[in-house]
Amino acid sequence: MTLRIGIIGCGGIGQEHARRLHVQLPGARVVALQDLRRDTALAFNEQAGLRARVHERMEDLIASPEVDAVLVASWGPAHEAQVLACIDAGKPVFCEKPLATTADGARRIVEAEVAAGRRLVQVGFMRRFDAGYRLLKQTVTSGAIGAPLLAHCAHRNPAVPDSYVGDMGITDTFIHEIDTLRWLLDDDYANVQVREGRKTRHAHAGLHDPLMVTLQTRGGVLIDTEIFVACRFGYDIQCQIVGETGAASLPEPMSVTLREGGRQGGAILMDWKRRFIEAYDVELAAWLADTAAGQVSGPTAWDGYLASATAEACIRARRSGAIEPLETMARPALYDPR
């Protein structure tokens, strides 16, 4: 059986996902495209040789009987309405981050899904599909380090564009740690705190960089994370979980050890796109398999909602300078662990 996919949003990430689904992975075809800028959709359709139908409106794509499932890769503010329309149509939907630009928006999606009575939404938190994070989770789950007590993380980027400002360190960058650590530790957050380190001279005027964010889980685990997006030296993702009897660290990406010019060591990736490129493949393959089986086992709308709510609490905490409690709606039974 081949899943017929409609893609909403034909920018960079939409194009990459389209190629993954259409060319690289078995079991899917991209049959429909939609983009606010119709020309973009038409040009991509032509250039990629998809022979997909290009719709004027996202509603038509979602409603089309030719489309079995939808992938949302439009810009963030459009996600909520598009995902709600998919739920309304009873169609499985893969939605890139963020699920919605506000926790309230994400809550509306959760409520719609609960009303629909089944999980239809997967959110694009690809780190859960990364081989390194999976090894780390296996190690933690195996009991090799005992019960987790602390986690130390870093999310470093060599540089960000001038359009990256304000709280984007939280909403665009730290959002990944928010979801990944919940999943790694199998625990929810109780409170959050944000502190500003000494600002690097390499951050532009509108950006305070680096930040230190501390999350505490309901179980008491403290998670500190360095967010440093103008670090210059590489795209460098670190995560160490400290447990009662040991500590386990996220594997470094594979690299050649070079001995040269009085130094020995390996490369740090400079380009974030390469860091999780294989995780995207695994993520979409898993989504295809789940969708074919009529289920969602990846990150759900509930995960998307909690990520948004946590990010909003972090922004509040940044303003207040205090440890802010995280208050969220009660988890609907639809999202009980299976």
Site for a copy of itself in 312-331 (CB under 8 A): 321-323
Give the contact letters, 261-290, x = binds to a copy of itself (CB under 8 A), - = no: xxxxxxxxxx--------------------
Q: Which residues pair with 223 in a beta bridge?
A: 151, 215
Residues 148-167 that bind a copy of itself (CB under 8 A): 148-150, 152, 158
Nearer to a copy of itself, 78 or 282 (CB): 282
Nearer to a copy of itself, 210 or 304 (CB): 210
Cα–Cα distance between 180 and 237 in angstroms, integer? 12
Does 248 participate in binding a copy of itself (rule CB under 8 A)?
yes
Q: Which residues in the 109-128 window bind a copy of itself by CB under 8 A?
A: none
Contacts 24+ apart (CB under 8 A), 312-317: 312/102, 312/103, 313/189, 313/191, 313/192, 314/167, 314/170, 314/174, 314/178, 314/192, 314/194, 314/213, 315/167, 315/170, 315/171, 317/192, 317/193, 317/194
Bridge-based pairing state of the strands 189-196 and 324-325 = antiparallel
Look up tokens 């009575």; give the residue: 117
- 271, 272, 274, 280 alpha-carbon torsion, rounded to 10°: -160
Closest distance of CB 202 from a copy of itself, Å:
6
Q: How many CB atoms sit inside 10 A of residue 92's CB?
A: 25
Q: How far is the CB of 73 from a copy of itself (least distance, A)?
A: 21
By CB under 8 A, the residues from 37 to 76 that bind a copy of itself are none
- Region of 4-12, 54-62, 114-122, 215-223 interacting with a copy of itself (CB under 8 A): 215-223
Among the residue ranges 34-42, 64-72, 146-154, 291-299, the one whose residues contact a copy of itself (CB under 8 A): 146-154
Q: Does 143 bind a copy of itself (CB under 8 A)?
A: no
Instruction: Count interface residues toward a copy of itself (CB under 8 A).
Output: 74
C-alpha distance from residue 236 to each of 79, 135, 155, 269 (Å): 29, 18, 6, 7
Least Cα distance to 95 among 60, 71, 76 occurs for 71
Task: Tell me which of 1, 205, 254, 333 binds a copy of itself, using CB under 8 A.
Answer: 254
State yes or no: residue 292 binds a copy of itself (CB under 8 A): no
Dist. CA 32–CA 9, nearest whole Å: 11
Closest alpha carbon to 31 in 11, 13, 7? 7
Closer Cβ to a copy of itself, 249 or 328, answer by number: 249
| Of positions 13, 25, 36, 334, contacts a copy of itself by CB under 8 A | 25
Q: CA-CA distance, 128 to 180, in Å (whole number)?
A: 7
The interface region with a copy of itself, picked from 33-41, 241-249, 294-302, 305-313 by CB under 8 A, is 241-249
Interface residue with a copy of itself, options 37, 118, 232, 274 (CB under 8 A)? 232
Shorter beta-carbon distance to a copy of itself: residue 40 or 240: 240
Nearer to a copy of itself, 69 or 241 (CB): 241
Minimal distance in Å, beta carbon 310 to a copy of itself?
18
Query: Is the Cβ of residue 118 or residue 202 nearer to a copy of itself in the bound state?
Result: 202
Contact 14, 75 (CB under 8 A): no
Assess 224 for contact with a copy of itself (CB under 8 A): yes
Q: Pick between residue 77 and residue 266 the one whose CB is nearest to a copy of itself.
A: 266
